[in-house]
Amino acid sequence: MKLGILLNAFYTSIPNPHVRGRPLDPADPNLNLADQLTVAQEIGIKNVEIQAPLQHATPKQIQALKQALDAADVRAGSVHAPFPVYDEGAMDDISSPDEAVRDAAVATIAAAIDLVAPLQPDALVLHPCGARMGDGLQLDQDETRLQARTEACVESLVRLSEHSQAQAISLALENTLPGDLEQPDDLITIVDRVARPNVGLCLDTGHAMIAGVDPGETVHRMGSRLRHIHAHDNHGVVDEHLFPFLGDVPWRSLFDALHAVAFEGIFMLEVASINAAANRDQLAQLREMGSFME
């Protein structure tokens, strides 16, 4: 297992008023790529995840990003696929029962795969459905609707797996905040139905807590389907994206589970902020529990 951190790349050059639901502020150090790479170097992290509004990005921007990563001696271990919060009304929901929406979503993500291919990431992380940022954290209990979404998601992933195979990139389906298809067991069903070696799962520890499932037990159930981790902490209610050990995630049992299933992917920190000095103790604890290869 390797350690990584998620970066918010080149948002400042994208004319979009909202990123992850907050106003775009070029002075925000969380949005400054150079500053984030400096932090990665300070804490000795070699793997990063690129989270960027790729549906608006250009090959030239990707080349510039690659140069910045090379100069900082880090690699893009993973890339996050576009998801609707970046673009109000965007048609990028791969499990939409509406075929036109689904086709547009597959096309958007396929284009993103081609765009980031020069970065040679191991995995592309994608959401099974449009995030319900606006209408609260309501679980969808309608079985017929869930069934339709499951079928649609399987179909989209089969198409995308063929596309990503050509670029040697794996797909990792992430458990999201409560909405449709947020339960890890729903995603296990989908990945088993897709049954392609380059389609697996991303466990988001914070989202699991909010969905009311234990991250360690979930790792055991996911087993070899697990390709990637989004690691962050919270208190089980709000998606706080805290640094590990600052919330209620049972990290010890999670790491025991990761070692038990011989997880070889990247333990990607998806935290709202990181600071080499302030998080020194938590980083040391993390490295001790994870015994990361790099």
Question: Which residues sit at the interface with Zn ion, rule CB under 5 A?
Answer: 204, 230, 270
Q: Which residue is nearest to Zn ion (CB)?
A: 230
The C-alpha atoms of residue 184 and residue 238 are separated, in whole angstroms, by 18
The C-alpha atoms of residue 157 and residue 125 are separated, in whole angstroms, by 12
Least gap, CB of 240 to Zn ion (angstroms): 13
List the end-to-end C-alpha distance of the chain, in Å, as a whole number. Answer: 8
CB 100 within 8 A of CB 90: no
Least gap, CB of 63 to Zn ion (angstroms): 26
Q: Which residues contact 136 (CB under 8 A, 6 or more apart)?
A: none
**Beta carbon nearer to Zn ion, 101 or 174:** 174
Least gap, CB of 222 to Zn ion (angstroms): 15
Instruction: Label residues 244-254 b or e (16+ Cβ within 10 Å = b).
Output: beebebebeeb
Least gap, CB of 204 to Zn ion (angstroms): 4
**Beta carbon nearer to Zn ion, 115 or 173:** 173
The number of beta carbons lying within 10 Å of the beta carbon of residue 44 is 11
Find tokens 């209990």 and name the residue: 141
**Beta carbon nearer to Zn ion, 122 or 204:** 204
**Beta carbon nearer to Zn ion, 186 or 204:** 204
Helix (H, G, I), strand (E, B) or coil at 103: helix
**Beta carbon nearer to Zn ion, 46 or 230:** 230
Least gap, CB of 211 to Zn ion (angstroms): 12
